[in-house]
Amino acid sequence: MTTAVDKIEPHSTLTFRSSLWDGPAHRTSSYIGPIKYTSPFLHVPAFYCIGNGSVFLNNYEAELPYFPINYKTNPDRWIKSADYVLAWRMENHHDQPDLERSYERIHSGIAYSLYQRRKTDKAIAWQKQSFDQLLYDFQPAGAPPQANSITVEPNICYREHGYGWVTVSNRNGQYNNATEELPDRDFVTDHFDGVFKIDLPNGQYQVKVQFASSPTPKPVRLNLIANGKKVISNRILPTQNDLVIHSYTLEITDGQLTQIIYVKQEKRFESKWQWSSCYIKRIED
């Protein structure tokens, strides 16, 4: 059941479907013979998330307070939109209509199949585009965008567009009225970590990200990870209205740029990030 682990894209989410893990009708295994008293395959899905930054959404430990990592909200909202589904020992996959409608079977083995959520036609078309530079404008829904920019609203989903948010959260868009004369005065903000993902051709890129700061009792310590590399580490933002710019370069080798933004907090909801824009330029070889 682990032969398809390399098919999971980095920073993805995984859930499972199963008629029975070890019920009376499935008490034998072609590999280990009769199964009694144990559930030897119960944690197999966790192998799909090792070393790739992905999350198995059905791990019971995250729902219990005495384990170190817990869900921030009810995990059901994420499970319904998981990137992958591991379907194990299901008599008839057609009994799961959303699998046929929303997912594509990408691997089948003995008594199991792995499904990947389908990308929309819009996302597929995005992957086929060629460009030298891109400007993403983060803003509230319906706000006027910057010239020649791509609008990123709080609920833009990566799977639907080929770019967008991977995480499910209560992000919202806001304006900074103190910087009203600036074209990038608006932003997307949240207390929780945000993952913004873009499909890009492989190559060298220069990335310029811009964040808004506003009056806060304590300085905001901002962090940004790009494709597994920490490009901003606990940068202290101004405690007044301002715009902060940071540039970095990286090489994309797997067709994706995944940026993870978060703020260091001593107390929950103490501070939040405010992402204004992201400019990407391809560097010629």
81-127 pLDDT, tens digit each = 788 998 876 655 555 677 878 888 899 887 788 999 887 777 777 76
Q: Is the distance from CB of 14 to CB of 82 less than 8 angstroms?
A: yes
Record the pTM: 0.76
Q: Residues of 96-105 as b/e, b for ≥16 C-beta within 10 angstroms?
A: beebeeebee
C-alpha 6/C-alpha 197 separation (Å) is 19
Residue extents of the structural domains in the chain: 5-117, 122-283
Whether residue 76 is predicted with pLDDT greater than 90 in this model: the reply is no
| pLDDT at residue 205, rounded to an integer | 94
For domain 122-283, the CATH architecture is: Sandwich (2.60)
pLDDT band of residue 5 (cuts 50, 70, 90) is very high
Evaluate the CA torsion angle 114, 79, 201, 51 in order and state its sign. Answer: negative
pLDDT digits over 178-219, tens only?
554 455 568 999 988 999 999 888 899 999 999 988 777 788
